[in-house]
Each structure stands twice: as structure tokens, then as C-alpha cells.
Amino acid sequence: MAQLIEMPKLSDTMTVGTVVKWHKNKGDSVSNGDILAEIETDTATTELEYYEDGIVLEIFVKAGLEVPIGSPLVVVGEAGEDISSLSEWCRLRLKSVPKKSVPAFNFDEKVRGCQEAMFPILLFGVIMVASFAKCTGDL
């Protein structure tokens, strides 16, 4: 039987999440403990793990999109399983959700010769931390 996986609430303050990267594609097999995707919350990036065996039948949210908690993300089930009515319902549900595109960042890319520094900044009475990177060849 197909299982719909929705955007989970991964922290107490989380209202929306961003799919940073999909580790599985449509048609890929999934085993207990496999990572389906990376989800970015308001506080951290967390792996979305799956706990059963199956096949990724449909992915509804592309990497880089921000959606509210409870939004349909992916359906996992058995090969050849008919999920047409479930897919249609999920697409209709997502049409009513305003999507915010978040610029993709390649976390796998390594930058050589860069040093990152963090500086506290006082802005409007709030202390914030700014991160700056200086790379070889920068002025």
C-alpha cells in the first residue's frame, strides 16, 4: 500500500520547510533506514529517513521549494501500484499552497583556500552573527 510522506514538523518553531536535496528519485528503491531527502528548517538541516521498503512512486516538491508543514512531499509504495487518485489529490493540495523558491546551494562543493570568519553585529538592538569567507585571490 502506498504511503504519503508529508513535510514533518522537525522543531517546535517550524512552520515551513525547504527540500534542500532529494537523495532518491522517482523509481528508485528504498530500504529501511534510507535517506529520502534533506529538509531545511528554521534552525537546521535534517535528513528525512524512511523506515520501510518500497519504491519512490512520485515526488511532489522539487528541491529548493519551501512548503508548509503537512504538505505532501513524496509517495512510496510497491512497483506498479496505482496512485493516480492520490497523486491528483496531492497536486490539488499543493496548488493552494504558496511556494517560495529558495536559491539552491551545493553543499557538496568544496571551496579551497577559503577561511570563514564569524563576527557579532548589533543591528536594531539585536546581536546577530555574520559569516564572511575570504578566499585566495580575493581583494
21: containing domain: 3-101
Is the model's pLDDT at 134 over the cut of 60? Answer: no
Let me know if residue 59 belongs to a domain.
yes
Q: What is the pLDDT of residue 106?
A: 45
**Residues 91, 97, 100, 102: what is their CA dihedral angle, to the nearest 10 degrees?**
-50
Give pLDDT tens digits for 22-81: 999 999 999 999 999 999 988 889 999 999 999 999 999 999 989 999 999 999 999 989
Let me know if residue 112 belongs to a domain.
no
Let me know if residue 129 belongs to a domain.
no
Q: What is the pLDDT of residue 36?
A: 95
Let me know if residue 96 belongs to a domain.
yes
Let me know if residue 32 belongs to a domain.
yes
SS (H, E, C) the chain: CCEEEECCCCCCCCCEEEEEEECCCCCCEECCCCEEEEEECCCCEEEEECCCCEEEEEECCCCCEEEECCCEEEEEECCCCCCHHHHHHHHHHHHCCCCEECCCCCCCCCCCCEEEEEEEEEECCEEEEEEEEEECCCC
CATH number at residue 68: 2.40.50.100
Q: What is the pLDDT of residue 94?
A: 84
- Please count the structural domains in the chain: 1
Find out whether 49 and 10 touch, Cβ atoms under 8 Å.
no
Let me know if residue 23 belongs to a domain.
yes
Give pLDDT tens digits for 89-132: 888 888 876 656 545 444 444 444 454 444 445 445 454 544 44
Let me know if residue 138 belongs to a domain.
no
Model confidence, pTM: 0.67
The Cα–Cα gap between 119 and 110 comes to 22
Q: What is the pLDDT of residue 138?
A: 47
